[in-house]
Amino acid sequence: MSITWGVATAAFQIEGATAEGDRGPSHWDTFQKKPGAIFHGEDADVACDHYHRWAADLDLMAELGIPAYRLSLSWARLQPAGRGPLNPEGVRFYRDLLIGCRERGIEPYVTLYHWDLPQPLADEGGWPERSTAEAFGAYSAMVIDELGGLAENWITINEAICASFLSYDWGMQAPGHTDEDEAIRAAHHLLLAHGLALAEFRARRPEAKVGITNLLSRIRPYSQEAADITKATEARARMNEVFMNPVYRGAYGEAVEALFPQLRDPDLVRDGDLALISAPGDFAGVNHYTNVLIKADPASPFHGYQMIQVEPTPTSFGWSDTPEALHALLVHVAEDYTGLPLIVTENGATFHDYVTPDGEVHDPERVQYLAGYTDAVLKARADGVDVVGYFCWSFMDNFEWSWGYSMRFGLVYVDFATQQRIPKDSAHWYREFIAAQRDATHTHETGEPA
C-alpha cells in the first residue's frame, strides 16, 4: 500500500455559520466570548465561511491535486442538545460535503470529535462526567447510521490531551478550567468515548477503518543529569503515555497511575472500561508538532520542569523544525506500542505569511518544513514502519483556537476580511510532491514510467 497524502481541517476552525442550519452552541462558542480568552478578542462566528463556501473549497483542493481530506463533524451542528435526534440540516450539510469530496476524487477521512462539545453537555459538567462519554457513544451510533457509508476512514477523538488537560487543567482551551482532577477524569472519559464509538462502528459498519488520534511530542532529557532524566520520564507519562498506554496496552501503567492516582479509583475506571478502550482499531493516528527537551527546575510552576524546544525553532509558535523527531517518533510508536498502520493525521507549521505585491504568498520556510517532514515519513516507511498516511495541517488558514487568526498554518492563504483564497507557494510545492509520489508508486508497481 502506498502512502496517502492529504490535508486536514476542523469544523469549528473553518465553518463559521455558528447560528445557522439549526446549529447549537458548543462550549467553544461560549469560551470565545470570555474576555481575554482569544487573542485580540476574535471569534469563529464566520471563520473561513466554509459552511457557505465548501463547494469552492473542495474545487480548489481538487485543483491542487490533493487526494485525501481529513475533516471533522461538528457535534454541536449535528446534535445541538448533545442528546436526542440528529439535526436534519446538519446531516444534510455533511452528506453534501462528503458526497462532494467523492465527486471530486477526494477521499474523506472523518473525525467524529474535534473539541466542539455541545453546550448543554458542558452545562452538565462536560468531559469530567461519565455521562458525556455515554452521550458520545449514542451520538456516534446515529452518525454512523446516517453518514457511515460516505467515508471509509474514521477518527473517533482528536487529541484527547487538548480536550482534557489544556481544557480543564491549563485553562487554555474551552471551557478554560484549572483543575487537574477534572482534567484526568476528562482524559479517561475521552478515551472511553473512543472505545464506545469504536464498538458502535464494529456493530453497525464493520468494514469501516477506525482509529484514534493522539498528539505526540518527542520528549527527551535536557542532559544526562539524574534530575533531568527523572523529569523527562515524568513528562512522557503526563503527555504521551496517559493517552497511549490504555489504547494500545490495555492499562494506564504504574508510572501514569503514580502521577494520577485517581486512575486507581474503581468509580472512575470501571470494570470493562479498559477492555473497551483497548479494543483493536484499524490504524493509529499521530499528530506531531514539537520536539522538546525537559530540564528539571524546582522553581517552575509546571510540575517542576521546563520544556525547551529543540533548535532550530523558526515557526511563529517557536516550535521546532526537526524532521528527525517525527521519524524517531513513528519508529517508537511502531516498535513500542502497536503493529497497526500509522497515519500522521496532523503536521504543519505557522509562519508570518502575507500577500506580496505580485499577489502571491511566498512561504519558503513552510516549503522547507514540509520537504523535511514528508521525507521523514518516507524514511520511516523505508525503515519498515507501516506508515500509510500523512495529512498536512492545514488546508487553509483558519481560526487557531485561543490564538484567533494570528497563527497561519494553511497551504492556502485566507483574507478573512474578503474570504479570498490564495494558494501559497507551499500549496504548489505539495501538489508537485504528491504528483511525484504518485508517479513513483506507479513505476514501482508496474515497472513502467508514469
Domain residue ranges in the chain:
4-446
pLDDT digits (tens, 9 = 90+) for 336-373: 999 999 999 999 999 999 999 999 999 999 999 999 99
Residue-level pLDDT at 439: 76
Instruction: Quote the CA–CA distance of 387 and 261 in Å, as a whole number.
Output: 35
From the candidates 159, 182, 200, 241, which is the catalytic residue? 159
pLDDT digits (tens, 9 = 90+) for 260-307: 999 999 999 999 999 999 999 999 999 999 999 999 999 999 999 999
Q: Which three cell numbers stand for residue 375?
A: 521525507
- CATH fold label, 4-446: TIM Barrel (3.20.20)
Residue-level pLDDT at 440: 77
Instruction: Tell me the average pLDDT across 194-200.
Output: 99
- Asked if pLDDT for residue 208 goes beyond 90, the answer is yes
Kind and range of the H or E element at 7?
strand 4-8
Residue-level pLDDT at 446: 61
Residue-level pLDDT at 395: 99
Q: Is 201 exposed, middle or buried (0-12, 13-18, 19+ CB in 10 A)?
A: buried
Q: What is the DSSP string of 350-373?
A: -------TTS----HHHHHHHHHH
Active-site residue flag, 182: no
As a whole-number percent, the residues of the chain with pLDDT over 70 amount to: 98
From the candidates 42, 200, 234, 346, which is the catalytic residue? 346
pLDDT digits (tens, 9 = 90+) for 11-70: 999 999 999 999 999 999 999 999 999 999 999 999 999 999 999 999 999 999 999 999
Say whether the peptide bond before residue 246 is cis (omega within 30 degrees of 0).
no
CB under 8 Å to 137, separation ≥6 — which residues? 193, 196, 197, 199, 200
pTM for the model? 0.97
Q: Which three cell numbers stand for residue 333?
A: 510508536
Annotated binding site for substrate: 13, 114, 158, 289, 393, 400-401
CB under 8 Å to 428, separation ≥6 — which residues? 64
- Asked if pLDDT for residue 234 goes beyond 70, the answer is yes
Instruction: Tell me the average pLDDT across 432-447.
Output: 79
Active-site residue flag, 124: no
pLDDT digits (tens, 9 = 90+) for 253-266: 999 999 999 999 99
